[in-house]
């Protein structure tokens, strides 16, 4: 039987998720039966939002849905829906997530979990008690080039990972007004850089401490729009990990994400803008490594629908793990403000 999905928020990410459900393999059936959006234009199917990466021209046909709601809480009450997919701006994640979990639904909610620490606490508490499958959509854990690096780190096929540099940079032409308000988006540190913070946590676990420098504003009103963090591990699981995240590049800047991982016997390097995005430098040679032609959004949705169909809880990306990622970001913000190394609580 198909997993019946309801999407709350049909903006850039809602439409990306909708496209992903539509592309799932036939054996793994999912049907998006309803969506909710507070915007009448979206409810009428008038939308051509752009985002930072991927197909930005995806249109949707409102006639294809059984029901269209004005309010996300009404969608949560819909008895036909198995999986509630929350794609609204970040400040509204908490109330919808908690309500959907209380209603006994399976829930996928977009990243970042939340900007306010009290919202994170409420979501973690609800998520721990959830009957169904619940997951925050930290898609980099599912992105092919990053799945590959995780395999190299875990298998130690090139020896131990000695150092890692991660970089993620967007431009200042964000597509929705709420992104420019730090109280809503949290600035680049919460909205963009969180992807790499979560990935560092996925690779190496919780660091003991972080040391961050940052620049305030530039795109958002007073958020941290440029951050550089060193993550400290004791005992030393890895000698040096640095992540750079920023979204204040000029509007013509093409979205960038990438990494350089140095192992004892080689270097693995990813640059999304390069014709050969993933390169391995080892054994006196440079060689391209081909990764699957898919993306982390599609793969995370495939994974979540699989979990729901099987009645399993997601093991790859748990609420407890996202809780740690959010505590690392909070320590990064504290470190930028204090100018000191800050422990991760």
Ligand X SMILES: NC(=O)c1ccc[n+]([C@@H]2O[C@H](COP(=O)([O-])OP(=O)(O)OC[C@H]3O[C@@H](n4cnc5c(N)ncnc54)[C@H](O)[C@@H]3O)[C@@H](O)[C@H]2O)c1
Binding letters toward ligand X, positions 10-39, x by CB under 6 A = xxxxx---------------------xxxx
9 binds ligand X (CB under 6 A): yes
**Shortest distance (Å) from residue 115 CB to ligand X:** 10
Q: How far apart are the first and last CA of the chain?
A: 43
Among 42, 43, 193, 302, binds ligand X (CB under 6 A): 42
8 binds ligand X (CB under 6 A): yes
Q: What DSSP designation does 121 have?
A: H
Number of residues in contact with ligand X, rule: CB under 6 A?
27
Binding letters toward ligand X, positions 191-230, x by CB under 6 A = x---------------------------------------
Interface residues for ligand X in 78-117 (CB under 6 A)?
A: 87-90, 92, 110-111
Question: SS3 of 336, please?
Answer: helix
Work out the number of other CB atoms within 10 angstroms of the CB of residue 81: 23
Q: Tell me the residue nearest to ligand X as measured from the CB.
A: 11
Question: Which contiguous run of DSSP H or E holds residue 278?
Answer: strand 278-282
Q: Could you give the CA distance from residue 243 to residue 235 in angstroms, rounded to a whole number?
A: 20
303 binds ligand X (CB under 6 A): no
What's the CA dihedral at 258, 262, 267, 270 to 10 degrees? -10
User: Are the C-beta atoms of residues 243 and 229 closer than 8 Å to each other?
Assistant: yes
- CA 210, 216, 218, 223 torsion: positive or negative? positive
**Shortest distance (Å) from residue 41 CB to ligand X:** 8
H, E, C per residue of 175-237: CCHHHHCHHHHCHHHHHCCHHHHHHHHHHHCCCCEEEEEEEECCCCCCCEEEEEEEEECCCCC
**Shortest distance (Å) from residue 10 CB to ligand X:** 5
| Residue appearing with tokens 């908690």 | 98
**Shortest distance (Å) from residue 267 CB to ligand X:** 26
**Shortest distance (Å) from residue 139 CB to ligand X:** 5
Q: Which phi and psi angles does 72 have, rounded to 5°?
A: -60, -35
Among 6, 72, 207, 223, binds ligand X (CB under 6 A): 72
Interface residues for ligand X in 165-194 (CB under 6 A)?
A: 175-176, 191
Cβ proximity to ligand X: between 163 and 176 the closer is 176
Cβ proximity to ligand X: between 111 and 302 the closer is 111
Residues that bind ligand X (CB under 6 A): 8-14, 36-39, 42, 49, 51, 72, 87-90, 92, 110-111, 137, 139, 175-176, 191
């Amino acid at each position: 039987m198909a997993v019946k999905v309801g999407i709350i928020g049909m903006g850039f990410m809602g439409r990306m998720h909708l496209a992903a459900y539509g592309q799932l393999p036939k054996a793994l059936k999912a049907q998006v039966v309803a969506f909710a959006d507070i915007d009448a234009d979206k409810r009428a199917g008038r939308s051509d939002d752009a985002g930072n990466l991927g197909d930005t021209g995806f249109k949707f046909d409102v006639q294809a849905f059984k029901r269209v709601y004005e309010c996300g809480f009404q969608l949560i009450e819909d008895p036909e829906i198995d999986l509630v997919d929350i794609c609204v701006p970040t400040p509204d994640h908490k109330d919808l997530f908690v309500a959907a979990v209380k209603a006994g639904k399976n829930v996928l909610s977009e990243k970042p979990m939340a900007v306010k620490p009290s919202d994170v606490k409420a979501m973690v508490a609800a998520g721990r008690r959830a009957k169904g499958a619940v997951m925050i959509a930290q898609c980099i854990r599912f992105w092919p080039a990053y799945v590959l690096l995780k395999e190299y780190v875990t298998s130690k096929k090139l020896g131990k990972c000695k150092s890692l540099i991660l970089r993620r940079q967007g431009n200042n032409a964000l597509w929705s007004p709420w992104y420019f308000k730090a109280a809503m988006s949290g600035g680049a540190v919460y909205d963009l850089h969180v992807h790499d913070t979560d990935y560092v946590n996925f690779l190496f676990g919780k660091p003991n401490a972080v040391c961050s420098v940052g620049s305030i504003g530039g795109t958002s009103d007073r958020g941290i729009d440029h951050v550089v963090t060193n993550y400290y591990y004791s005992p030393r699981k890895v000698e040096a990990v640095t992540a750079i995240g920023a979204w204040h590049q000029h509007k013509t800047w093409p979205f960038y994400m990438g990494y350089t991982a140095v192992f004892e016997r080689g270097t693995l390097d990813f640059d999304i803008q390069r014709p050969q995005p993933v390169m391995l430098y080892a054994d006196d040679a440079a060689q391209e490594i081909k990764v699957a032609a898919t993306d982390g959004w599609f793969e995370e949705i495939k994974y979540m629908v699989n979990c729901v169909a099987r009645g399993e809880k997601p093991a790859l990306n748990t609420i407890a793990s996202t809780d740690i990622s959010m505590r690392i970001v909070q320590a990064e913000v504290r470190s930028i403000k204090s100018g000191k190394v800050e422990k991760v609580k």
